[in-house]
């Protein structure tokens, strides 16, 4: 039997201990996350992530990512020079192949869905 799952209070769910952000461009940036669901085939993951202010690179060569910003304020910078602010309550989609930078103006928490194509 397949059962549904629910998750409440994404703004306060425990993410575990923060660790240094490996792709930071500004230094002294920390992140934490917890996976809430992983599909049996490994192609989809849903979780919550939080990171302290700063700027970092992101590459989505093998997957797409959909994010709902739970709290915080970011500016996404695309490779073509486009910049877009995203705030709490808004949703963004990073399609497979996207490369760019996240600039976090405040500590930011997001609900994410990572999706890989089946091979």
Contacts of 56 (CB under 8 A, 6+ apart): 21, 23, 24, 25, 26, 29, 101, 102
Question: What is the span of the domain harbouring residue 78?
Answer: 29-115
Contacts of 93 (CB under 8 A, 6+ apart): 64, 65, 66, 67
Structure confidence at residue 8 as a pLDDT band (50, 70, 90): confident
CA gyration radius, the chain: 14
Considering the domain boundaries, does residue 20 fall inside one? no
pLDDT at res. 117: 86
Element of type H or E holding 104: strand 98-104
| pTM recorded for the entire structure | 0.93
Residue 79 lies in a domain: yes
d(CA 74, CA 24): 14
d(CA 88, CA 37): 22
| CATH code where residue 84 lies | 2.60.120.10
Cβ atoms of 92 and 102 within 8 Å: the answer is no
Residue 2 maps to a domain = no
What does the pLDDT average to over 59-74?
96
The count of domains in the chain is 1
* Residue 72 near residue 88, CB atoms below 8 Å: yes
- pLDDT surpassing 80 at residue 118: no
């Amino acid at each position: 039997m397949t059962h549904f799952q629910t998750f409440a209070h994404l703004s306060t769910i425990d993410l575990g201990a923060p660790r240094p952000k490996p792709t930071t461009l500004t230094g002294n940036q920390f992140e934490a996350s917890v996976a809430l669901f992983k599909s049996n085939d490994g192609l989809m993951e849903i979780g919550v992530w939080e990171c302290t202010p700063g700027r970092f690179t992101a590459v989505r060569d093998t997957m797409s990512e959909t994010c709902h910003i739970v709290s915080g304020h970011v500016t996404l910078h695309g490779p073509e020079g486009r910049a877009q602010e995203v705030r709490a309550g808004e949703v963004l989609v990073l399609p497979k192949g996207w490369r760019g930078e996240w600039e976090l103006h405040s500590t930011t928490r997001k609900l994410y869905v990572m999706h890989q194509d089946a091979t």
